[in-house]
Structure 1
Amino acid sequence: MAVNFEYYRVFCQVARSRSFTGAARALMSSQPSVTRCIQSLEQQLGCTLFVRTRRGVSLTAEGELLYHTVGPACERLQQGEAELAGALSLQGGVVRLSSTETALHELLLDRMDSFRARWPGVRLHLNNGTTPQALAHLRSGRVEMAVVSGPVQTGKEVRLHPLVRVEEMLVAGPGMAHLARKPLHLRDLAGLPMICLEPGTCARDFYDELFAAKGLNLNPEVEVTTADLVLATVQHDLGVGFVPAGLARPLVESGAVTPLRLAFSMPPRWIYAARVQGRPLSAASRAFWKHLTEGSEG
């Protein structure tokens, strides 16, 4: 038996309102239209669902049985419709994304802040890790987009959109602040105690290749897992290290660390937005992607 869902929707509203007139008002319809829907439903089901009372209508035994099952289903469907409408109008919805630490500090936090100011009803679910981890989450469908720092190697299934160039800063702690007196060459850095991210990260690969291109070896004094640990280790004078400028700037301004000058130009390194080609984004994620990529340098 194929019953029009609209009949069930009207039935549930009459059952809640205990009145054909009240149901018509709630449904923004007319009483005759509500009456016709209920009559059609009763004819299809072969039973009477309501009886008239002095105050309106009440459910029959068959009506009670039907409402016990159909009522919760109608509520869930109406809730789903409302949630979908909210998501499409950006009054609700979720953006699931993954990011690297560098991308987070250099770009993403500011973009998330401005997005939430514009669409406060949209929730942002963020996880962070290395570029390979973020891209793995993207490919698996765990997130809809990733914001990662280069260098990046992906297959054709991943679309990359360059956003901004990575700005990193070489910093030293109080005991090594004297190194700021003159610009440093790459060979100078090879002779200093360097603090670096561990192998397998894109940032570490970038600096390994930078040194190797000049015939130098990067042999870190200390290896850590995150950029904020590089900064903390630098503060304790265990060496010098490259960190995202956005992360280092507050400590530079407070005098806790000192920026060191370079006598060479760093090769360009980019932050990218990534998504899987051909995989549709939710309404909230489409809005965030547009917000993220509009006005980008790339």
Structure 2
Amino acid sequence: MHTASSVLVTGCAGFIGSHLTEQLLQRGYRVIGIDNFDPFYDRTLKEENLSNVLGHGQFHFIEADIQGLDWQSQVVGPVDSVIHIAAKAGVRSSIEAPAAYVQTNIVGTNNLLAWMQGQGVGKLVFASSSSVYGNNPKVPFSENDAVEQPISPYAFTKRAGELLTYNYHHLYQMSVVNLRFFTVFGERQRPDLAINKFVRMIAADQPVTMYGTGDTSRDYTYVGDIVTGILAAHDYVAAHPNTYEIINLGNSSPVSLQTLVDTLYDLMGKTPNIEYLPKQPGDVERTFADVAKATRLLQYQPTVSLREGLRRFIAWHEAKSL
């Protein structure tokens, strides 16, 4: 690839987006990053996420919300491809405020796609989610499974995004890879997510609150593996004009909530202290990625185990707390 290649990254200040932006810059791309510092969590955390790239000569930052159109006039120079990570996140809060999720995740995504079509930008990687599978009875979850029964507004807005990208692929020959992420964790993880919350509780010697009996399971995937998968998908759309794919990115080894918490206590050298609370609505029983397609098309091979990824997260958290 030549250094002139420009990538527009939405959600560049978030957990996954900031790691991705750093990797793109390291690979020699010019990156135009958009983020609105959504107040879902503290702005200073996102500013910290961007601290490694803000002074980079090949990085151009636009503070804007994709729900509006004002960002479009701020995009400088040609754009070769788009990686769309920006979204309102969180299953539980989507149940409390579904309209905001429709606005950002559906209207915002359509604004972006319409802008791409108008500018003749024909390559897109879209961040979808394993939540589209709902309580799928069949495991592992395969891209061919029916996903017509979302159990949260967040899930249905992510499925809507996949359908929107298909529409633009069909009408305008846009090359699209939709990536369904499975429970991403690692350094910079959002503070509302379980691992980040649990580590803070354990560090403060507070009891860990666990919803349900601990038997729900998640296919925890380390952020570095996810970013490697996104970069491979970005290479794939560049090499395959007029393609449309939906691809799982997971670790393909689900772990129960109880095991996760036990592992954290073990790594942090503390005695388990767990408070069990009733299950939350909208939470799926389990996630489990079939990654055969990702391996076939993207040579995707997750390399970081849950234990190693948790060790890295705890080290990051401790360094930040000093």
TM-score, with length taken from structure 2: 0.23
Structure with the greater relative contact order (CA < 8 A, sep ≥ 6): 1 or 2? 1
More helix per residue: 1 or 2?
1
